[in-house]
Amino acid sequence: MSILLHHRARFAAVSSRASVIVPLLRVIWRRPSGAIGLCICAVHALLALLGGFIVPYDPLAQDPTAVLAAPSFAHPFGTDHLGRDVLSRTIVGGQTAMAVTGIAAILAVLWGGSVGILAAMRGGLADEAIMRLVDAVGALPYLLFLLLLAAFVGDSVVALIPALALFYGVAIVRVTRAAALSVYSTDFVQAAIVRGEPVGRVLRQEILPNVLDVILVDGALRWSWMILGFSALSFLGFGVAPPTPDWGLMIAETRHVLAIAPWAALWPCVALATFIVGFNLLIDTAGKLIGVDHEARGQR
């Protein structure tokens, strides 16, 4: 086991970030699931970046004469309950959620990762205290927790960022701590410490390279689930405020006409689902590839 991990550490430590990503993308591209994920993510990234320039209508413009209009040449995705173009709203509907949860995910990875490593390396009382707090947040029903936070921060989406980061970071603490602990307790790391190598160097050379991929993969996946949590908040009346086009909110707002004008909720649903599925395929493949590579090297 320790030998395996050692090789993994070397593999990750030797290759710098930039030189890993390009070949990794190339390898991902050769796998069917990776290629699909990559394509979906590329389309979503393009739409999110260019959305404002390519929408056929103003996503906020209401047309009282075309309320809940079925898909047609003028409105390929139909219109919603206030006569707004669903296509335009779907195109830009991911921006807010992606931005808000994206920042929150980065914050979550940063604080969750550091606290997790800290807990693993310090051990003892600090570890125990951190884990009890982490457990407590985990033991709260997540929707109630988010509701409490959302009610507290009011209608400001920006204020939701620290709330989401706090909540989702907790899970990252757990994952990071487990990963760091398994590296930290291996013979070669313990040996390095016994040899008197400085803590900073052990952290930089042995622990970080080994847990970084775990944290990044976990953080990325969690980001996509955060977007889902965001839509659940909208369903219960929190989250993004109307009239902002947002997938979760669009689905929730048109729930009452789901059986009459399914297109109003269908397209944001499709957008949300494809994004999360695509992103998960991509990250899963990437994660697997890192694992596969290290297995291959371990056997060699």
Partner 1 sequence: MLANLLTRTLSGFVTLVVVLVIVFFALEALPGDACTAYLERDARDALLAACRERFGLDEPVPARFSSWAMALASGDLGTSILRDRPVGDILWPRFRNTALLAGVAAAMAVPIALVFGTLAALRQDGVFDIAASTVVLVAMTVPEFVIATVLVFIFAIWLQWAPAVVTVSAGAPVGDLIGAIALPAAVLTTTLVAHAMRVHRATVVEYLAFEFVEAARLRGLPKWRIVLFDVLPAALPPTLSVTAVSLAGVLGGVVIIERVFNYPGLGTLALQAILERDLPVLQGAVAVFAVTYVLLAITADLLTELLDPRTRRGTS
Partner 2 sequence: MTYRDTLSGRPWRRAALSLFVGILLWPTDMFVGSTAQAETLRIAHPLGNGGKENVDPIHRNRFYPVTVMLYDGLLRPDEAGRPSPSLATQWESSPDLREWIFILREGVTFHDGSALDSDDVVFSLRRVLSEEIGSPLRSTLAIMAEIEALDDRTVRITLDAPNADFPTMIMHYLFRVVSSEGQDESLDAIYESGVGTGPFKLTTLDAEGTTVLEANPDYWDGAPGVPMVEVIAIPDSEARIQALLAGQLDLVRRVNPQQLALFQNRDGFEVQTFATGDWTSLVMRTDTPPFDDVRVRRALRLLVDREAIVRTVLGEAGGSVSCDTPVWPGDPYHVAQECPPDLEEARRLLAEAGYPDGLDVELHTSGLNALMVEVAQVYQAQAAEAGVRVNVRMAPSDGYWSNVWMQRPFVAAVWSQRPAAQILSEAFLSGANWNDSFWDNEEFDALLAEARATIDFEERKAVYARAQQLIWEDGGSMIAFFPNRVRAYSDTLSGVQPVHDFFLRWHEITKAE
Task: Catalog residues that contact partner 1 under the rule CB under 8 A.
Answer: 31-33, 128, 131-133, 135-145, 147-149, 151-152, 154, 228, 231-232, 235-236, 248, 251-252, 255, 258-259, 265, 269, 272-273, 276-277, 280-281, 295
Give how many residues touch partner 2 by CB under 8 A. Answer: 23
Cα(121)–Cα(100) distance, integer angstroms: 32
Contact assessment for residue 40 and residue 281, using Cβ atoms and an 8 Å cutoff: yes
Spell out the alpha helix ranges (H) of 236-262.
247-253
Nearer to partner 2, 144 or 296 (CB): 144
**Crossing angle for the helix pair 124-139 and 95-122, nearest 10 degrees?**
150
Region near partner 2 per CB under 8 A, out of 109-117, 253-261, 269-277, 284-292: 253-261
Counts for the chain of helices (H) and strands (E), in that order: 13, 0
Name the one range near partner 2 by CB under 8 A: 95-103, 130-138, 148-156, 176-184: 148-156
Rounded to the nearest whole angstrom, what is the least distance from the CB of residue 181 to partner 1 in the complex? 15
Strand, helix or coil at 79? strand
Of the candidate residues 106, 257, 277, 289, the single one contacting partner 2 (CB under 8 A): 257
Q: 215 or 265, CB closer to partner 2?
A: 265
Q: How far apart are CA 79 and CA 174, in angstroms?
A: 44
CA angle (222 as vertex; 216, 223 as ends), nearest 5: 90
Question: CA–CA separation, 193 vs 189, rounded Å?
Answer: 6
Backbone dihedral angles phi then psi of residue 241, each to the nearest 5 degrees: -90, 140
103 binds, among partner 2, partner 1, none (CB under 5 to 8 A by kind): none
Query: 45 to 84, contacts with partner 2 by CB under 8 A?
Result: 60-62, 64-65, 67-68, 81-83
Determine, following the binding rule CB under 8 A, whether residue 155 of this chain makes contact with partner 2: yes
- Per CB under 8 A, residues contacting partner 2 are 60-62, 64-65, 67-68, 81-83, 151, 154-155, 237-238, 241-243, 255-257, 259-260
